[in-house]
Copies of this chain bind each other. A is one copy, B any other.
Amino acid sequence: MNKKIITTTAIAGILLLLLAVLPASAAIQATSVEIRGTVYNDAPGEIITSWDANNFAGFWYDLKGNLKSESLTITPGLIGVTDRTIDDPTGLNYTAIRQLKGYKVNSSGGKTVTDGLDNTGAVVAAGTHYAVVGWQAEKYIALKGDAKKLVKQVLEQGSTDKKTLTIGETWDIGDGWTLMAQSIDAKASPRQAWLVLSKDGVKLEDEVVQNGNVFVYKKDIGGKSDVPLFVTYIDSVFAGATSDMVQLKYTWAVSTSVLEIKNGQTYGVMEVTDAQASHITLKNKDTAVTLDQDSTVDIMGNLKFKVADSSTLRFYPMVEYVIGEGVAEVPPVDEKPPVDDKPPVDEKPPVDEKPPVDDKPPVDDKPPVDDKPPAEEVPPAEEETPTPGFEALFAIGGLLAVAYFVLRKK
Contact = CB atoms under 8 A, between A and B. Distances in A.
Interface of A: 2-4, 6-7, 10-11, 14, 17-18, 21-22, 25-29, 31-33, 35-39, 41, 54-55, 57, 61, 63-66, 159, 306, 308-310, 312, 314-316, 321, 323-329, 385-386, 388-392, 395-396, 399, 402-403, 406-407, 409-410
Contacts of A27: 326
Contact of A21 (B14, B26, B326, B391): B391
Nearest to A316: B63
A22 B388 contact: yes
A310 B316 CA distance: 31
**Copies of this chain in the oligomer:** 2
Given A18-B396, A63-B306, A410-B3, A54 B39 contact: yes
Contacts of A321: 33
14 contacts: A3-B409, A3-B410, A10-B406, A11-B403, A21-B388, A31-B328, A33-B35, A38-B54, A55-B55, A66-B310, A159-B309, A323-B323, A326-B389, A391-B395
A66 B314 contact: yes
Chain A's interface: helix, strand, loop or mixed, by majority? mixed
B2 A314 contact: no
Nearest to A3: B410
A65 B311 CA distance: 11
Contact of A10 (B10, B39, B41): B10
A350 B63 CA distance: 52
A386 to B, nearest CB: 5
Nearest to A308: B63
A392 B25 contact: yes
B36 A57 contact: yes
A389 B28 contact: yes
Given A61-B39, A392-B21, A395-B17, A26 B386 contact: yes
A103 to B, nearest CB: 15
B26 A388 contact: yes
B35 A310 contact: no
Contacts of A326: 27-29, 389-390
Contacts of A323: 31, 33, 323-324
A39 to B, nearest CB: 6
A35 B58 CA distance: 8
B395 A28 contact: no
A306 B315 CA distance: 28
A399 B17 contact: yes
A122 to B, nearest CB: 24
